[in-house]
Structure 1
Amino acid sequence: MGKLTGKNIRLRALEPTDLEFLYNIENNEAYWEVSNTQTPYSRYILKQYLENAHLDIYEAKQLRFAIEDKKHQIVGMIDLFDFSPQHLRAGVGVLIDQNHQQKGYATEAIKLLNKYAFSFLNLRQLYANITTDNKKSIQLFEKLGYQLVGIRKDWIFSDGDFKDVAFYQLIHPSILHEKNIL
């Protein structure tokens, strides 16, 4: 677990005990815009999801970690999604519970995930899709070396209006520590 353990957090596999946290996150309408969700999830469906969370990333094409603090309390989740072993890339999504934001957890979680994706999964690139009005996420990913490579105009329809989405990429650099991304 050394690759997934940082100074203040660790990334771990989802457990059956995470059901209530997952239920609350997945059914929080404030997060639906970024998760492409339009309907609530039942505990039954989420329990089935947790039962299948053990599937290999090569089979499921995604991997979700719980972000746990030093007190072993789940504070958020981080995902690799749209995993493409052929093209050596995956998308990154991170969510920190509102009660635990502004503590550096997202920064540390992304650094750990970057390191895991580049060194263990041997990916060439990671990417993130961020609505252009989400200044905190843009600042976070830019701080970690992700570069803006394009804007998708009117990409997301939310609250009766269209939003642009910024597409950020992190291409595996030759010296990861120089850019402070790991």
Structure 2
Amino acid sequence: MSGKLQLCGTMENQENMVLRAPELEDAAFLYALENDQKLWQVSATRVPFSHLDLEQYILSASRQEPFVAGQVRLIIDYRKGKQSTAIGIIDLYDLSAIHRRGGVGIVIDEKYRNRSLAGKALDQLIYYAFNLLNLHQLFCSIGKENQASLRLFQSRHFEITGERKEWNLINGKWQDEYFLQLINS
């Protein structure tokens, strides 16, 4: 994926949402998100990332085709007027060229949540996955108690197709997880 891929969608009041490949300048933003221990429970991360780790990831990821790498990580860039701010990341993971499917993960910086921005980013990712990568389906796993994420994905027609009982151990308690799918019909 080239470093200049941009998927744009116009929003009200001259606002734009752009999904773009990570740049070296994003290392500090990724460092803050990846090392936020509140997010580790959903990512299964247990070891912090260094700036060097993230810079090397950015340099190597930009040279790989999505199906070779098995993933695509995009920065969610919010633009209003001439200002541009990285507000989150959205991933396609476990990409399969044979089965034409991929998983979706999204994280929005806390300052930008509850403003419909995640939905706009997810809309663009769905378009990219189905129309440019030619995927047949997208999937995601969401903790049963994560009602905000469930509402987000279900509002984009993802359907709950399975439930994993006591799947994740979070803060000493077992929690169930839903499996959701969106089929490109």
TM-score higher than 0.5: yes
* Deviation for aligned residue 1:100: 0.8
Aligned to 2:54: 46
The answer as to whether partners of 1:3 and 1:115 remain within 8 angstroms in 2 is no
Runs of 5+ consecutive residues of structure 2 not aligned to the other structure = 11-15
The answer as to whether partners of 1:155 and 1:165 remain within 8 angstroms in 2 is yes
What SS does the corresponding residue of 1:77 show, helix, strand or coil?
Answer: strand
What SS does the corresponding residue of 1:148 show, helix, strand or coil?
Answer: strand
What SS does the corresponding residue of 1:117 show, helix, strand or coil?
Answer: helix
Q: Which has the higher strand share?
A: 2
Question: What per-residue deviation string (whole Å, max 9, x for no partner) do you get for residues 105-126 of structure 1?
Answer: 1101111010111011110000
The answer as to whether partners of 2:5 and 2:21 remain within 8 angstroms in 1 is no
- Confirm or deny that 1:139 pairs with 2:151: yes
The answer as to whether partners of 1:66 and 1:76 remain within 8 angstroms in 2 is yes
CA RMSD of aligned residues (A): 1.3
Runs of 5+ consecutive residues of structure 1 not aligned to the other structure = 174-182
Question: What per-residue deviation string (whole Å, max 9, x for no partner) do you get for residues 130-179 of structure 1?
Answer: 00110000000001100000101111112112111100000002xxxxxx
2:71, 2:166 → 1: CA distance? 26
Correspondent of 1:88 among 90, 100, 121: 100
Q: Residues 89 and 116 from structure 1, CA distance in 2 versus in 1: closer, same or farther, beyond 3 angstroms? A: same
What SS does the corresponding residue of 1:22 show, helix, strand or coil?
Answer: helix
**4+ long deviations beyond 3 Å:** none
2:170, 2:115 → 1: CA distance? 28
1:141, 1:104 → 2: CA distance? 12
Letter in 1 for 2:50: S
